Structure 1
């Protein structure tokens, strides 16, 4: 036979040998130049070329166990900030399950959703291997990168952006409507509430340090407690973020000041362990396709999204609508996004690890404009969203 004469192997044999799906093989042929040839309607590979290619591109796949049919894919999420709400849309509308059925209709992979109290709980789950993909904020992402320097087996990698806000949006210092402060130095006389070991506390301290104010009265409270204290007139200032900023404005319990001074806006990100992602390309791309579709829904059908979020979180629809309108729902990574992440790393030892390849494939399969290989330079494009 021709295949034996020329040392060829059929595509089905490659799938079995490498334990991957047909869609993964097709993707490798397109994006990673896996050599192949078509004889009639059948696709074959040169055995030696497959071995050579696999040693160069695919050997890392063996570093993590393969997630087979009838196993569980665990997605981590948190509802503490509007910027991290895209998984709620994916979950509610079954966007991930739909993609999984499309790539492998015969094998059933159960999707488990893990709701965490905050981003650091998700980071711990990823370290333990109990969470495969997660969406959390820029501070937790930076911390996970720092932890990876101490734990070589943990390699968090940024796959896509979640919700993001420009400088002056996403975070604010909320004070009573009657309180008028003209200068940051006037904060020296006030107790300021913030949540412990979070984006809010870090941003507050960085702002105060930049103004050489290190002796302030900072108290730790949950954001819900701060909202209640502001409402009762028992609190002078609190650091807040969306949707609580929009809620404070809606209820007129306070106004936000010094927004720009708190610095750099805010961004959530979709994260996985690098070796797990390499071992499960199909699942990563399926999730990112669902993520892109969720972003599109929030941009194009904000009323539908607001109604669902209101039922899920208990916030009034008008508050949710205002909140999601303040956020850019764009999965593309910009160089400015990565610069924002380095803001939390005082050592500047290394850049945050990222991989755009999976998002590029997801965008291509959804017939979106081709993403560049590297993070996009310059300002966010106002007519181009992913």
Structure 2
């Protein structure tokens, strides 16, 4: 907890408020952009100065470079996560060249250059969208809503939802995993070992809810990347880990880990694509081209699971058997349902560490149905309405 007398925040508290990583806050601090107080080895932040800096920084200093005007040699930066199964579409798009193929339809070869970036987590990609280092990013539901919230305190960043990627229902896709000698339900079983998860992620959000529901308040939670979480479980160095796919199925396949029942984690697990509105409006043709590639990747994974599994396994390092099993259990559907919107809004109502003024906005979720609609029309798929599809998921309309 920060020093109440001087209204100071610790480094971790400042990271939570801004929703950024340690690397980013250190970079901002060392560049003398972020006001701070250093006492010995400890770094502190004045709460009022921090909030004032956020607003000032957003008003007088662009957080992203000017949008690229149409013209020769346009560069498109695409951020993805090979370590998240529900976000495997970019692996298919990249390896099979779907995006480049769609771009060639827009202009001569060489007019567009695609730079792909494999990120360890979704919040890093949100930071890249804010800074302009990514134009299109594949992220999970919690980073998606955190990005929307940050867009309300950084006016030059206008986060825009483009389409969904993988979806799973009722807590599937993310689960608490414990060593197979534990049931995971009694605090005495943690034996002082840490609980691992990825910070500021869909997994950490669900871990917080699980710990609260099971009245486990003293177990140490340590933030690591998902591959380290996996290693901690299979080597027995962690007491538990909140994992997303494919790591939880992979850990289970080793025989050394057991997932805890997932219905307690609540709601569906969603992933999708985001961009900055300004860039998307200036590059509508590129956005539509990527969404066409995105829809093609979904169809490929649904109809060619064996070939898709080989491609994804080679790109991610996940065993083919684990990939093949997961492809059939993930709903590959880009469309937005009322059910999906409610899931995201529930997450947006309770974002860890973000200022309260970011919650409850009149526009809590900004989406762009025209771009997806254009891609669907170009591929001669059934038309989608401009508004979210009503009700729950339909098995008759997958995009």
Q: TM-score range, shorter-chain basis? A: 0.7 to 0.9
Query: How many Å separate the matches in 2 of 1:134 and 1:218?
Result: 27
Bigger mean CA deviation after superposition, 367-376 or 234-243? 234-243
Provide the residue aligned with 1:75 in structure 2.
Answer: 78
Query: How many Å separate the matches in 1 of 2:157 and 2:188?
Result: 41
Deviations 1:226-245 (A, max 9, x none): 33333333433221110011
Displacement after TM superposition at 1:176 (Å): 2.5
User: How many residues matched?
Assistant: 321
1:295 and 2:306 matched: no
1:356 and 2:359 matched: no
1:141 and 2:144 matched: yes
SS across alignment from 1:74: strand
Query: How many Å separate the matches in 1 of 2:217 and 2:305?
Result: 42
Note closer, same or farther for the CA distance 1:77–1:230 as it changes in structure 2 (3 Å cut): closer
Q: Given the alignment, which residue of 198, 212, 218 partners 2:221? A: 218
Query: How many Å separate the matches in 2 of 1:246 and 1:165?
Result: 14
Provide the residue aligned with 1:382 in structure 2.
Answer: 395
SS across alignment from 2:165: strand
The normalised TM-score by structure 2 is: 0.76
Unaligned stretches of 5+ in structure 1? 1-62
Asked if the contact 1:172–1:259 (Cα under 8 Å) also holds between the matched residues in 2, the reply is: yes
SS across alignment from 1:150: coil
Alignment of 1:214-363 (within 5 A): 214-345=217-348, 346=350, 348-350=359-361, 351-363=364-376
Asked if the contact 1:246–1:322 (Cα under 8 Å) also holds between the matched residues in 2, the reply is: no
Displacement after TM superposition at 1:133 (Å): 1.1
Asked if the contact 2:187–2:216 (Cα under 8 Å) also holds between the matched residues in 1, the reply is: no
Bigger mean CA deviation after superposition, 115-124 or 212-221? 212-221
Note closer, same or farther for the CA distance 1:132–1:303 as it changes in structure 2 (3 Å cut): same
The normalised TM-score by structure 1 is: 0.78
Displacement after TM superposition at 1:365 (Å): 0.8
Asked if the contact 1:156–1:353 (Cα under 8 Å) also holds between the matched residues in 2, the reply is: yes
Displacement after TM superposition at 1:179 (Å): 2.7
Bigger radius of gyration among the two: 1
Query: How many Å separate the matches in 2 of 1:223 and 1:100?
Result: 33
Query: How many Å separate the matches in 1 of 2:188 and 2:262?
Result: 17
Query: How many Å separate the matches in 2 of 1:242 and 1:273?
Result: 27
Give the aligned CA root-mean-square deviation in angstroms: 2.0
Asked if the contact 1:171–1:265 (Cα under 8 Å) also holds between the matched residues in 2, the reply is: no
Query: How many Å separate the matches in 2 of 1:133 and 1:314?
Result: 24
Displacement after TM superposition at 1:189 (Å): 4.8
Note closer, same or farther for the CA distance 1:77–1:67 as it changes in structure 2 (3 Å cut): farther
Asked if the contact 2:338–2:390 (Cα under 8 Å) also holds between the matched residues in 1, the reply is: yes
SS across alignment from 1:200: helix
Query: How many Å separate the matches in 1 of 2:72 and 2:235?
Result: 54
Query: How many Å separate the matches in 2 of 1:196 and 1:91?
Result: 27
Unaligned stretches of 5+ in structure 2? 1-65, 351-355
1:195 and 2:198 matched: yes
